[in-house]
Each structure stands twice: as C-alpha cells, then as structure tokens.
Amino acid sequence: MKPKKRRIDPIVKMGLGILVGGFCLIAFGMYLSRPDRSIPPYSVGAQKGPLVALHIPSWTSDPEIESLLIRFGDVGRRTRDFAQMKIRPTTPQDPRGRYQSIQIIIFSDPVWTEPDTFQRYATSEIVDSETPADKDFRQQFEAHVRAGYRADEGGQAAWIGPWNRSQSKDRTLTMQWVFQEPWQQPGPASTSSQE
C-alpha cells in the first residue's frame, strides 16, 4: 500500500504566494523608488510634525548611510525642499517654507518606524513622574537609531550612531558627526566695473 501524499490546500498556497510576493514587492519597490542609485534604499516609516523616521535595510553599511546623510545635506544646502527625498512637509503652514525644521532619525529595524511605536515615542515627554517602563522604552528607541539628520534655523547637522537624546545632554558621547554647519548667508552682490 502506497502512503497517501499530503496535498496543500490551494487557498494556503495562494496565501503563501501573496505573502512572499508582498515582501518581494516591498523590497524591490524600496530599491527602485530611491531617488538615486548612489544612496541606499530607504522608506519613510512614520512622521509626526518635524520628526521623521526612516527605515533602511539591516545590511546597510555605515559608509552607505553616510552617503545618504550627505545627500540630505546637499538638498538642505541647495533648496531645502525634502519632497524629492520622499518626505512630507514638516512645517506646511510656515510662510518661510515647508521644511523650516526637520529631524530625521534612521533605523535598520522596522519595528521602531511602525506608526504606533513611533507615535508613542513622539508624544512622550521627559517628566519626573514617568514610569520606569516609559524611560526604558525611550532609551531603547534612541539606542536603535543608526543615524540622523537635523535642519533648523541655525543650520544643519548629520551623525552616525545611537541618538543619546534622553540619557545625556551631551549627545557627542555616542555620535560620530558627519557634518555640522550653519546656513551660508548670501553675501552682498559683487559689482564689477567695465571700462
């Protein structure tokens, strides 16, 4: 007597196909939708006001992250219009521009860029009455940051390394700065006389 072969239900096959296909589509979409092939693929996970969380693949190296940060710096210097980098306006009502203040934090673990997790962090305040669980959550969130970029009225800066925002006022303890610069002020127009 031959043993009976187990057949996989066609609905289960279709479900597995959709699941695998969905993951492939997301990865391929991240790769193709990046503005430039010289920077690593990324996606905007969540955004609340000027705070933006980006997700990059876990295999992204620090030099590749640095190339992404340099691209953000170039956009900041040229136009300060981060829409070309797939980021919604962070200051849409500001008459001076749509991106007057922006703080980008980059993660390689997508758990931290999920809207619920990100919203919990973005709305949490550092207060004396916080619970140990809240403090631990905030520290874990910041410890998982791979890199960041910020731009405001004073200038722009980018770093690689965890974001030591809650644990210490001295953020240089864990950050490797890629650049820190004030905005260039336009100088007086030079006039040349022709004789």
**Tens digit of pLDDT for each residue in 105-133?**
999 999 999 999 999 888 876 555 678 88
For residue 148, being part of any structural domain is answered with: yes
pLDDT at position 193: 35
Mean pLDDT, residues 38-53 taken together? 91
pLDDT at 33 over 80: no
Question: Which residue from 69, 144, 140, 70 is spatially nearest to 107, judged by alpha carbons?
Answer: 144
How is the beta sheet containing 43-48 ordered, strand by strand? 43-48, 51-55, 102-107, 145-152, 155-160, 176-182
Range of the domain at 145: 38-182
Distance, CA of 133 to CA of 62 (rounded, Å): 31
pLDDT at position 1: 60
pLDDT at 28 over 90: no
For residue 63, being part of any structural domain is answered with: yes
In the chain, the percentage of residues whose pLDDT exceeds 70 is 80
For residue 89, being part of any structural domain is answered with: yes
CA distance to 60, 130, 153, 154, 191, per residue, from 67 (Å): 11, 38, 23, 23, 37
pLDDT at 168 over 80: no
Q: Take residue 4 and report the two structure tokens written for it.
A: 């009976």
To the question of pTM greater than 0.85 for the whole model, the response is no
Q: Is the distance from CB of 91 to CB of 50 less than 8 angstroms?
A: yes
**Tens digit of pLDDT for each residue in 57-81?**
999 999 999 999 999 999 999 988 9
Question: Which residue from 180, 162, 151, 165 is spatially nearest to 62, judged by alpha carbons?
Answer: 162
For residue 68, being part of any structural domain is answered with: yes
pLDDT at 158 over 70: yes
pLDDT at position 14: 86
pLDDT at position 165: 67
In the chain, the percentage of residues whose pLDDT exceeds 90 is 41
For residue 175, being part of any structural domain is answered with: yes
For residue 82, being part of any structural domain is answered with: yes
Q: How many domains does the chain have?
A: 1
pLDDT at position 97: 85
For residue 88, being part of any structural domain is answered with: yes
pLDDT at 19 over 90: no
pLDDT at position 190: 35
